[in-house]
Amino acid sequence: MNEFEKIVEAIENEWEINTFKTIVEKEIPEQRFIVDGIIPTESICVLSGNPGLGKTWLLLQLCLDVSEGKNFLEKFPTKKTRVLLVDEERSQKETQRRLNLLGVKESDVLITNLQGIRIDIEENIDKLLKICEENGIGFIVFDSLRAMNTLNENDSKDSQIILNALKKFVRKGIGVLLSHHNRKETFMASKEPGQALRGSTALSGGITSHISLDKAELTKEGTELYLSHAKMNEGERIKPFRALFKELEGKITIEYLGEVEDEANKIGKAKEAILKLLAEKEMFNKEIVVALIPLYFAERTIIRAINELKEDEEVLIRKEGTKIFYNVKK
């Protein structure tokens, strides 16, 4: 390293120190997003979920939409930028199959498949940075974290090594998205999406945004995906939402369905529907459940609504053998 290079390195490594006053008075640009409200630019973000729920399909759609500047899921505006997808989970053949199902004909998204890339190896990170700089990459997606490191993700020091490696992209103005798995569900495990991310809390604490794919439910229209915004350091979290994964005539589409109602609101609507049913005739538990499920009420929501109506004495109860019948006052 010559003297000029040493001076440049010293300047790049010099810390910027401000007072509270200078920060308050400083003109700082508004936070920009790669995906509006979800993935900030120059940040490390995570899309997590259990295996088989559809994370990779969402990642492929996201890469396509960002590279073209299209709204993600036809809902969330994106900042058009070049994308690199580093895929250590699937072969080129499987990626080709999925892209064909998505109807992809043209795209300048760059992709690597099963190249043995490890983000805990400095030489690999430097090589990826060079690729990003040479190709104008503004967004890099890693699928998945589990397949791309040899460290112990449950160890805080090892998790910090991973985060430090990824921050090299952020410092170059490149947004980072990781796919990762959620913890295995147990009786004692928290059901909160923010606590579901597998690995050390150093990992969940070090990322900017976390989208959790919580569940997938089969419907007559397709598969409904339920997503929640478990963490957001750069603004407010978006509300939980649903997306429909649908295959029609050999093509796959993923579309935004709308926000997920909170549980209290769903139970309230179920109670209204039950009272309307009982105003027409007396019914027992199973009949009520069978009548409301086609209206997209979950069975657990229906049962909770029935129990609340009983507790509030809004329904009349009549027992006949093992059956409990419900009615309303005329």
Q: What is the pLDDT of residue 304?
A: 85
Q: What is the pLDDT of residue 293?
A: 82
Ranges of the chain whose pLDDT falls below 50:
4, 7-8, 186-191, 193
Residue 95: name the closest of 74, 114, 67 by CA: 114
Please check whether residues 294 and 145 belong to one and the same domain: no
Please check whether residues 243 and 185 belong to one and the same domain: yes
Please check whether residues 306 and 237 belong to one and the same domain: no
- Residue 12: inside a domain: no
- Residue 151: inside a domain: yes
Please check whether residues 126 and 275 belong to one and the same domain: no
Give the domain-ending residue among 227, 259, 291: 259
- Tracing tokens 């006052």 back to the chain, one arrives at 329
Please check whether residues 127 and 142 belong to one and the same domain: yes
Please check whether residues 221 and 267 belong to one and the same domain: no
Q: What is the pLDDT of residue 166?
A: 96
Q: What is the pLDDT of residue 251?
A: 94
Q: What is the pLDDT of residue 266?
A: 80
Domain of residue 146, residue span: 31-259
- Residue 16: inside a domain: no
- Residue 97: inside a domain: yes
Give the domain-ending residue among 199, 231, 259: 259
Please check whether residues 319 and 235 belong to one and the same domain: no
Give the domain-ending residue among 213, 244, 259: 259
Q: What is the pLDDT of residue 323?
A: 85
The domain that holds 234 is classified in CATH as 3.40.50.300
Q: Give a three-class secondary structure readout of the chain.
A: CCHHHHHHHHHHHCCCCCCHHHHHHCCCCCCCEEECCCEECCCEEEEEECCCCCHHHHHHHHHHHHHHCCCECCCECECCCEEEEEECCCCHHHHHHHHHHCCCCCCCCEEEECCCCCCCCHHHHHHHHHHHHHHCEEEEEEECCHHHCCCCCCCHHHHHHHHHHHHHHHHCCCEEEEEECECCCCCCCCCCHHHCECCCHHHHHHCCEEEEEEEEEECCCCEEEEEEEEEECCCCCCCCEEEEEEEECCEEEEEEEEECCCHHHHHHHHHHHHHHHHHHCCEEHHHHHHHHHHHCCCHHHHHHHHHHHHHCCCCEEEEECCEEEEECCC
Count of structural domains, the chain = 2
Please check whether residues 230 and 111 belong to one and the same domain: yes
Q: What is the pLDDT of residue 93?
A: 97
Q: What is the pLDDT of residue 248?
A: 87
- Residue 53: inside a domain: yes
Q: What is the pLDDT of residue 83?
A: 98
Q: What is the pLDDT of residue 195?
A: 55
> Mean pLDDT of all residues in the chain?
87
- Residue 322: inside a domain: yes
Q: What is the pLDDT of residue 188?
A: 34
Residue 258: name the closest of 108, 73, 96 by CA: 73
